[in-house]
Structure 1
Amino acid sequence: MNKYYIASILWACLILGLTLTPGKSLPDVDLFSYDKLGHAGIFAIQAYLFVSGIYFDKKSVTFSVLVGLLITLVYGAGIEVAQEFIPDRGMEFMDLVANCAGSIIGISVFYISYKKNWQ
């Protein structure tokens, strides 16, 4: 298991812990004054780490991007659905959009960062 997989798993656990904590249990800290940017940011990091892990394992850009995108989109959607069952939390469509946008941004950063290695 490469370092990107490990980082991706740890980051996914952090996201899960933060997003599935009951609303009243969350600290009243304004860490992300723009909630949707926060969602996009954490999912950009998740997607970048995960796609990097797949790439360094499989060495296929197309496979890495497609699988990474699919898994991070499903993960983001799954978290939003799961929040429906958490006290003082709820599914928000715009959070889902921000999660998806972040995943696409993270994969784009990966693509731009490693493109020079593919030529």
Structure 2
Amino acid sequence: MNIYLIGAFLWSLLILVLTLTPGESVPDVGLFDYDKLGHAFIFFVLSFLSINGIYRHPRYNAKVNKAVIIGVLFSAFYGFTIELIQSVIPGRSMEAMDAIANIIGAILGLSLFYLMNKLRT
């Protein structure tokens, strides 16, 4: 695995563990007081890491547009799928607004990628 994709993989794994843990087992750390902003931020980061990892991976030799499409679609699909799976986890539930926040965060992640690329050039 390329070093640039390791961040995306580890972040995805952290999201999976935290979101699929039964509700009563999740500590209330108060990290995000605004739930939907928290969802958007988590998938914003995932999207950025995914796009950047795909774009910089030498095997894929991806153009910017291809990396953006794959990274955003992966992140949005991942966020939506996790919400679906939560409907069968004890103490968790699927919330449409959480899924929408996840998808918005995934879309916004490309703005950071474009900003970082613009600053690099």
Q: What TM-score bracket applies, with the shorter chain setting the length? A: over 0.9
Listed one character per residue, the Cα deviations across residues 14-51 of structure 1 (whole Å, up to 9, x for unaligned) are: 00000001111111221110011111111111010010
Residues 52-63 of structure 1 aligned to structure 2 (within 5 Å): 52-57=52-57, 58-63=61-66
Any idea what SS the aligned residue of 2:90 has? coil
Listed one character per residue, the Cα deviations across residues 80-116 of structure 1 (whole Å, up to 9, x for unaligned) are: 0000010010110110111011111111110121035
Question: Which residue of the partner structure matches residue 39 of structure 1?
Answer: 39
Question: Which residue of the partner structure matches residue 92 of structure 2?
Answer: 89
TM-score of the two chains, using structure 2 as the length reference? 0.91
Where in structure 1 do 4 or more consecutive aligned residues deviate above 4 Å? Answer: none
Residue identity matched to 1:81: L
Q: How many Å separate the matches in 2 of 1:112 and 1:32? A: 25
Q: CA deviation at 1:59?
A: 3.8
Gap change, CA 1:117 and 1:59, over 3 Å in 2: farther
Listed one character per residue, the Cα deviations across residues 44-79 of structure 1 (whole Å, up to 9, x for unaligned) are: 110100100110122400100011111111101110
Answer yes or no: is 1:16 the counterpart of 2:13: no
Unaligned runs of 5+ in 2: none
Q: How many Å separate the matches in 1 of 2:62 and 2:22? A: 40
Residue identity matched to 1:4: Y
Contact kept, 8 Å, 2:86 with 2:94, in 1: the verdict is yes
Q: What count of residue pairs does the alignment treat as equivalent?
A: 118
Question: Which residue of the partner structure matches residue 103 of structure 1?
Answer: 106
Contact kept, 8 Å, 2:55 with 2:63, in 1: the verdict is yes
Identity %: 50
Considering only aligned residues, what root-mean-square deviation do their CA atoms show, in Å? 1.3
Q: CA deviation at 1:3?
A: 1.9
Contact kept, 8 Å, 2:21 with 2:89, in 1: the verdict is yes
TM-score of the two chains, using structure 1 as the length reference? 0.93
